[in-house]
Amino acid sequence: MAQHRPRKRFGQHFLADPAVIEHILRSLSPRQDQHLVEIGPGGGALTTRLLGACARLDVIELDRDLIPVLEKLQRQWNGLFIHQGDALKFDLRQLKQEGQPLRLVGNLPYNISTPLMFHLLAYSGLISDMHFMLQKEVVQRMAAQPGDSAYGRLSVMIQYRCAVEDLFHIPPQAFSPPPQVESAFVRLRPHAAPPLRAQDEKAFNALVRQAFSLRRKTLRNALKGMVDPALIIQAGIDPGARPETLTLAAYVHLSNTLTASDTQPPPV
């Protein structure tokens, strides 16, 4: 990896601490009968360890200059499959094999982590779990509860699809070059049977997005033009409450109340 200069535009910070890699492997506990997908393998520090622990490993790498490094590993391991491309646009359905759910792992670039998470959630039905290194602040937002300062749209939408576990934190010195922020390793397990279900998921998404776009205002004002205050009351919610105080269940219930009414929210 010494010959490859990390690219700022790709948000590259390569994992370099063997102790952290060991901690990740213990948390992941890969098995030979499992199908893993690594996003952003970089120079292959984690990839090399994963190859000896699972039957098949697909890697998705955007940086063309890193493909030769991965191809060298591929010549040593028949179970490694390389996909050069943007994970934000990658269709995980092409990797699905009958009876074998995907396990995702990766060191995600900070500059695309949130949109990438929303992209991956669209494939939650194909995935058994996801283990990612992310900016600590992003993981805190994922796991946040109502009333927490970090609670927001990401918290609601991630928890609607997945159980979230903030596993451990990683110092900047574990990466090369060190980022300016701390990182965290998170486990996301998509719900096999969703404990809560929005009758119209597009409407639910639009509702949550609009509410948190004006998170410091009351629901009455944040949802003005989208939801009549009478419907908020009908759902058993105080229109004077702030968006950051509502539980996931409350947002799902409000969305379903809105869907059941004659008024549908306009696209946002």
We report the CATH number of the domain holding residue 18 as 3.40.50.150
Integer Rg of the chain from CA: 20
* Whether residues 246 and 186 fall in one domain: no
pLDDT at position 11 over 90: no
Residue 268 lies in a domain: no
pTM of the predicted protein model: 0.88
Closest-CA residue to 186 (of 144, 146, 145): 144
Taking the CA of residue 137 as centre, how many other CA atoms within 13 Å lie in the half-sphere pointing to its CB?
Answer: 7
Per-residue pLDDT averaged across 152-173, rounded?
96
* Whether residues 89 and 173 fall in one domain: yes
Measured in degrees and rounded to the nearest 5, phi and psi for residue 60 equal -115, 115
How much is the pLDDT for 99?
76
Among 45-54, 67-76, 91-100, 238-247, the range with the most confident prediction by mean pLDDT is: 238-247
Among 141, 162, 190, which residue terminates a domain? 190
How much is the pLDDT for 148?
94
Q: How far is CA 175 from the centre of its chain?
A: 20
CB within 8 Å of 142: residues ≥ 6 apart = 117, 154, 155, 158, 159, 164, 166, 186, 188
Give the range of the structural domain holding residue 40, as residue numbers without chain letter. Answer: 8-190
Q: Do 184 and 166 form a contact (C-beta atoms < 8 A)? A: yes
Closest-CA residue to 35 (of 113, 88, 94): 94
For the record, the structure tokens of 147 come out as 């009333």
pLDDT confidence tier of residue 9, bands split at 50, 70 and 90: very low
Domain count for the chain, please give it: 2
Residue 223 CA to residue 204 CA, distance in Å, equals 13
